[in-house]
Amino acid sequence: MSQFIQLHILTSYAPSNLNRDDLGRPKTAIMGGFERLRISSQSLKRHWRTSELFTNALAEKIGVRTREFGLIIYDELIKGGIAEKDAQKWTELMVKEYGTLDTDKKNFLKTKQLVHISHLEKKIAFDLIKKLIDEKREPTKKELQNLKTISTSVDIALFGRMLTLKEGKNSSKYSIEAACQVAHAISVHSAVVEDDYFTAVDDLNDGKTDTGSAHIGEMGFAAALFYSYICINKTQLIESLEGNEELANKAIQALTEVAIKVSPTGKQNSFASRAYASYVLAEKGSYQPRSLSVAFLKPIDDEEMEFSAIAALNQRMENFDKVYGACADSRYQLNAATGEGSISELLQFVAE
C-alpha cells in the first residue's frame, strides 16, 4: 500500500483578486448551496512550481514546460554555424520527438501543445546539438529516439506529464503519473464579489480645462479564508524519481513550504495579497486519503471565523476516525492563530 502525505491548509486573504475568470473577476464555486471564492488548482500549482522558494530548493532538478523548445534548439544550431535550412530541418526532427509541430507559420518551430521537458532531457538535447555542430550532420534515428528519458525532474514527478506521442498501443512510456493531487481552494464561508471603482489621474493635468480623470475602471475583489487540500503519494513519487528517496523528501518539503507561504500573483500590485497559512494539519499513513472540505459544507459565519474553521476541521477529522477507524498513522499541526508548532518541525514531519 502506498504511503500518503495529506495537507489541510487554512489561509486568510484580505480583499484581493488572486485568480480571475474570463471576465476578470475572482473565481467562484457553489458549495453547500452558497457561493464561495475559489482558487483553481492550476493556478496554485503554477505559482508553487515557478516560485523562487521551489526553484532554489530544487535547483537543477526542475524541468521546463513550453511550446518554444524548438526555438532554443534552432538558435543554438545557428550560433554553432549551421546553415538556416539545415538548422530548421534538424530542429524539426528533434522537436517531433517531444510533440506535434504547429503548422501555423507564425508559430515557427513551436509545438501545438505545451511540452514538459525534464532537466535531463534538456541536457541530452544540448549534448546532441553540440555533437551535430562539431560533426556537421543531421541527427540519426537512434539519437532522436534517445532524446526522451523516463528519468524525470521533480516537478514532473509531482505534477505529472502526458506526451501525446503514440508508442505501441496508443500509450507512451514517457508519460508520468502525477504523485501530487491538488484541490481547488475554496472559502470556508459564503462570499460576495464586490466591484472596485477606480480612476487614474494625469499628473500633468492642472485641472483648469479638464477636471476629469485620465482613466476610469472597475475591478472585482473579495476577501476570504480558504481551505486547501493536497495529497502526495510518496511511494509513487519515489518510484518516479527512480528510488531516490532523499530527493523525494526534499521535494515534499519544498512543496509543503511553498503551499503555506506562496500566494497566487493575481493583481498583487493592486492588493498586496501576500499571506502565510494560519493553520496546517499534516497527516501521514497508508490509509485511503480523504479531503476534509465537508467540514465547511455549512459555511462558517461567526465572528471567530479563524478559530471556528480550525475547530470544524478538527471535529470532522475526529468524526471520520470514529466511524472509519484511524485515518492516519501520525499527524502534526501548525497553528499560527495560537502560536503552536513551527515550520521547521512541520517540514521535518512530512519528510520523516
Full 3-state SS string of the chain: CCCEEEEEEEEEEEEECCCECCCCCECEEEECCEEEEEECHHHHHHHHHCCHHHHHHCCCCCCEEECCHHHHHHHHHHHCCCCHHHHHHHHHHHHCCCCCECCCHHHCCCECCCEEECHHHHHHHHHHHHHHHHHCCCCCHHHHHCCCCCCCCHHHHHHCECCCCCECCCECCCCECCCEEECCEEECCCCCCEEEEEEECCCCCCCCCCCCCCEEEEEEEEEEEEEEEEEEEHHHHHHHCCCCHHHHHHHHHHHHHHHHHCCCCCCHHHHCCCCCCCEEEEEEECCCCCCCHHHHCCCCCCCCHHHHHHHHHHHHHHHHHHHHCCCCCEEEEEECCCCECCHHHHHHHHHC
- At 150-165, the pLDDT tens digits run 888 999 999 999 876 5
pLDDT value at residue 169: 42
Q: Kindly tell me if the per-residue pLDDT of 167 is higher than 50.
A: no
Q: 193: helix, coil or strand?
A: coil
Average per-residue pLDDT for the chain? 93
Nearest of 300, 171, 222, 201 to residue 38 by alpha carbon: 222
CA distance 324 to 336: 29
Of 165 and 35, the structure prediction assigns the larger pLDDT to: 35
How does pLDDT run across 199-232, given as a tens digit for each residue?
788 888 877 777 777 888 888 899 999 999 999 9
Q: What is the pLDDT of residues 313-348, one digit of tens each?
A: 999 999 999 999 999 999 999 999 999 999 999 999
Percent of the chain with pLDDT over 70: 97
Cell of 330: 501520525
3-state secondary structure (DSSP) of residue 322: helix
Is this model's pTM higher than 0.95 or not?
no
In the prediction, which pLDDT does 207 show?
77
Q: pLDDT tens-digit profile of 110-121?
A: 999 899 999 999
